[in-house]
Amino acid sequence: MAVALKQSYLRPYSPSSSPFTCSLRSFFSFMRYYSSCSLPPGPGLEDFIKEREFKDIQLSGTALMEDDHSPPPYLNEETIAGRNRKVYFETYGCQMNANDTEIAWSILSNAGYRRAKEITDADVILAVTCAIRENAENKVWNRLDYFSHLKQKRSANLPPLKVGLLGCMAERLKEKLLDTDKQVDLIAGPDAYRDLPRLLAVTESGEAAVNVALSLDETYADVSPVRLNESSPTAFVSIMRGCDNMCSFCIVPFTRGRERSRPMSSIISEVKSLSEQGIKQVTLLGQNVNSYRELSPSHSSSSLTNLSRGFSSIYKSKEGGRRFAELLHEVAQVDPDMRIRFTSPHPKDFPDELLEVIRENGNICKHIHLPIQSGSTRILQLMRRGHTREAYLSLVDRIRSIIPGVAISTDIIAGFCDEREEDHNDTLSLMEQVKYDMAFMFAYSMRKKTHAYHRLKDSVPEDIKKKRLAEIISTFYSLSGSRNKRFIGTEQLVLLVSATKRNEMDCKGKSDTNHTVIFPRKHLPGEADNEEREPNTGEYVRVKITDSTSLSLKGVAISRTTLTAFNQQNDCPSYTN
């Protein structure tokens, strides 16, 4: 069984490396570091002997550590202080990565770092990476060439530029990253952001600093994310991390670890704080957001996991805990004028009580993301999704019967292992039956460590994958173009987000159903104040829809309003499913 040292100052040790060897390498690395810097005296042998005890747990070849947020005794705040060095972030991938960026920045700003708004002004460049598909990783590999170029151009009068990779790709490709000539100084996995100040201090010695240990309980519940876009009226709130589903195509359980949920009180407190800051839309985040389950002694329960009808999971039913329906209801009560969204859910975790909570709360958006991945029951079984085509379609019918006017979006993968033409046609026919409002469509990209990598064969040729993906995209655009026409003539409540990129005189916002709505900027009366003026970012606007495309709605603004006022005047949506 591999043994991991809790404080890894050099590259990750190999299974053949002994703990004693790692300790000596760490010790001498720090001796070199402290001798070259005007810092307090370095650690002695007694510091390594006094290192506090910790547990190592081995799971799928990854060490899972006990959380301990205090530095070792020979590192203090002065040692790891940022000293006003400037950090530039580049974020790739999902909304969880955007939230992780805000968490990482909160930790570094508290350690004395400043934010660089331009990459050329940075002392530290940190890329928050994604490993879900090969294309996402290729973007980062190409970007590393540019980072290396900036390192070489760095003035000799300035301290060396440091480059770090954070997130899923960092965890998955740690050895490969260190063995290339990309000059990566720091690698930190999704559960190691608290360690960033120490890791950056280690890089000053000229050594690569790595921490990719996954945690059984890290949720960053006590870290207040620092919003990078302070002008945005929307914010993300992470409620759980990791995933237990083990879908055969997905790398997430191996890069993000097991599911663990953040305390409900911590989530409610953050949402209240965002409301006080004037935020008008909060999106609850998680890799499997609707499997949220808070376990606490004060809220014990013997109830088992309540799955959607006709769905199963690869793991045993989980007993006890406060579930997502309760959390969603509590979050909705914080501010009736704040919209609540959530992503990314799994279809198996939509029991009727959750759907009823969405229906009964006017500020929970009537938009549900419902990933299908494939319309073929045979492929769904190979993907280990835990349901059939028929069960999914039954859930869609139930959602639309309980939540009138709901919009449904999805994820679709083209060309999964052993996908045949009839399987592909099943996907196209399911799309025609469901009529999605939005879809995220991709060609299959096999990932190492996954069940598919070990047990299945990536047998669909790339040209066939591209052909099938093109047909899926074409089908979606055709269906969504006609489906969006149902909004013409209706009034929609739109949260104003920004001016459009093409024309500053046009406003862009989001409807309750998450459709992009574009309308001309003009002075509008206020339903509450009767003042006529242009609406500001973060205000709600009543818009009458006059036209639509496959991706957006167009309309004419009628008035400025509030979410509660609009809901009181519109008890039911004025369009049908």
In single-letter form, the type of residue at position 229 comes to N
What is the structure's pLDDT at 22? 43
Does position 171 have pLDDT exceeding 90, yes or no?
no
What is the structure's pLDDT at 60? 33
Contact in structure between 172 and 134 (CB atoms under 8 Å): no
Does position 54 have pLDDT exceeding 60, yes or no?
no
More confident position, 501 or 284: 284
Structure tokens at 296: 């606490």
Q: Mean pLDDT, to the nearest integer, of 53-80? A: 46
Q: Pick left, alpha or beta for residue 421 (phi over 0 → left; psi -120 to 50 → alpha; otherwise beta).
A: alpha
Does position 354 have pLDDT exceeding 60, yes or no?
yes
Q: Mean pLDDT, to the nearest integer, of 394-413? A: 97
Query: For residues 54-69, b (16+ Cβ closer than 10 Å) or e, as one string?
Result: eeeeeeeebbbbeeee
What is the structure's pLDDT at 314? 83
Number of H helices, E strands in the chain: 17, 24
Query: For residues 101-111, b (16+ Cβ closer than 10 Å) or e, as one string?
Result: bbbbbbbbeeb
What is the band of 315 on the pLDDT scale with cuts at 50, 70, 90?
A: confident
More confident position, 15 or 338: 338
Q: Which range, of 61-75, 361-375, 389-403, 502-516, averages the lowest pLDDT?
A: 61-75
Does position 384 have pLDDT exceeding 90, yes or no?
yes
Does position 59 have pLDDT exceeding 60, yes or no?
no
In single-letter form, the type of residue at position 548 comes to S
The CA distance from 373 to 364, in Å, is: 25
The CA distance from 97 to 193, in Å, is: 12
Does position 13 have pLDDT exceeding 60, yes or no?
no
What is the structure's pLDDT at 47? 47
DSSP state of 366: S
Residue linked to tokens 């409900």: 264
Q: Residue 423: which of 445, 444, 451, 447 has the closest Cα?
A: 444
More confident position, 5 or 472: 472
Cα-to-chain-centroid distance, residue 523: 37
Indicate the length of the chain as a whole number: 577
Residue linked to tokens 């990482």: 104
What is the band of 48 on the pLDDT scale with cuts at 50, 70, 90?
A: very low
- Does domain 488-571 fall under CATH 2.40.50.140? My reply is yes
What is the structure's pLDDT at 473? 98
What is the structure's pLDDT at 71? 54
Domain ranges of the chain: 77-211, 234-485, 488-571
In single-letter form, the type of residue at position 90 comes to E
Residue linked to tokens 């974020």: 91
More confident position, 209 or 26: 209
| pLDDT tens digits, 122-169 | 999 999 988 887 787 888 888 999 999 999 999 989 999 999 999 888
Q: Pick left, alpha or beta for residue 83 (phi over 0 → left; psi -120 to 50 → alpha; otherwise beta).
A: left
| Arithmetic mean of pLDDT over the chain | 85
What is the structure's pLDDT at 475? 98
- In CATH terms, 77-211 corresponds, of 3.40.50.10490, 3.40.50.12160, 3.30.70.360, 2.60.120.200, to 3.40.50.12160
Q: Pick left, alpha or beta for residue 95 (phi over 0 → left; psi -120 to 50 → alpha; otherwise beta).
A: alpha
DSSP 404-442: TT-EEEEEEEES-TT--HHHHHHHHHHHHHH--SEEEEE
In single-letter form, the type of residue at position 155 comes to S
220 Cβ contact list (under 8 Å, min separation 6): 103, 193, 194, 238, 262
Contact in structure between 396 and 375 (CB atoms under 8 Å): no
Asked, as a colleague might, if the bond just before 344 is cis with ω within 30 of 0, I would say yes
Q: Mean pLDDT, to the nearest integer, of 64-80? A: 54
59 Cβ contact list (under 8 Å, min separation 6): 214, 258
Q: Residue 208: which of 227, 232, 181 has the closest Cα?
A: 181
What is the structure's pLDDT at 302? 57
Does position 486 have pLDDT exceeding 70, yes or no?
yes
What is the structure's pLDDT at 229? 87
What is the band of 187 on the pLDDT scale with cuts at 50, 70, 90?
A: very high
Pseudo-torsion of CA 57, 61, 62, 64, nearest 10°? -10
Q: Mean pLDDT, to the nearest integer, of 475-482? A: 96
What is the structure's pLDDT at 2? 37
Structure tokens at 152: 């070489």
Classify domain 234-485 at the CATH class level. alpha beta
Cα-to-chain-centroid distance, residue 103: 12
The CA distance from 269 to 334, in Å, is: 9
269 Cβ contact list (under 8 Å, min separation 6): none
Q: Which range, of 233-247, 499-513, 518-532, averages the lowest pLDDT?
A: 499-513
What percent of the chain is modeled with pLDDT above 70? 83
The CA distance from 481 to 120, in Å, is: 43
**HSE (side-chain half, CA atoms, 13 Å) at 135:** 5
Q: Mean pLDDT, to the nearest integer, of 478-486? A: 95
Does position 53 have pLDDT exceeding 50, yes or no?
no
